[in-house]
């Protein structure tokens, strides 16, 4: 019998089912840290047709993937991701 746990990767925003042998206990010293990942979005970015198509996503990824970007914070809330 294999046991699994669903793990949320807050740095990437996805979750994945992993075997319990791949899950480790978080040290207590790290439990007290403030949130390190914040949900954000890009301002004034929208797809050409109003709906994101696979082509739109591919073009956007090509423009920003693995690139150094400069960001300006326009709005802050107290909600953590």
* Whole-number Å distance between alpha carbons of 51 and 46: 8
Domain ranges within the chain, ordered by starting residue: 4-64
Is pTM beyond 0.85? Reply is no
Q: Are 47 and 56 in contact (CB under 8 A)?
A: yes
Q: Is the pLDDT of residue 79 over 70?
A: no
User: What's the pLDDT tens digit per position in 29-73?
Assistant: 888 887 776 667 778 888 878 888 999 889 889 988 888 888 888
* Whole-number Å distance between alpha carbons of 24 and 5: 11
């Amino acid at each position: 019998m294999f046991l699994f746990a669903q793990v949320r990767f807050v740095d990437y925003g996805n979750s994945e089912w992993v075997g319990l042998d791949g899950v480790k206990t978080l040290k207590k010293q790290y439990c007290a840290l403030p949130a390190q990942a914040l949900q954000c979005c890009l301002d004034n970015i929208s797809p050409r047709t109003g709906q994101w198509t696979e082509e739109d996503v591919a073009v956007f990824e090509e423009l920003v993937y693995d690139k150094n970007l400069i960001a300006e914070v326009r709005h802050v809330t107290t909600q953590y991701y």
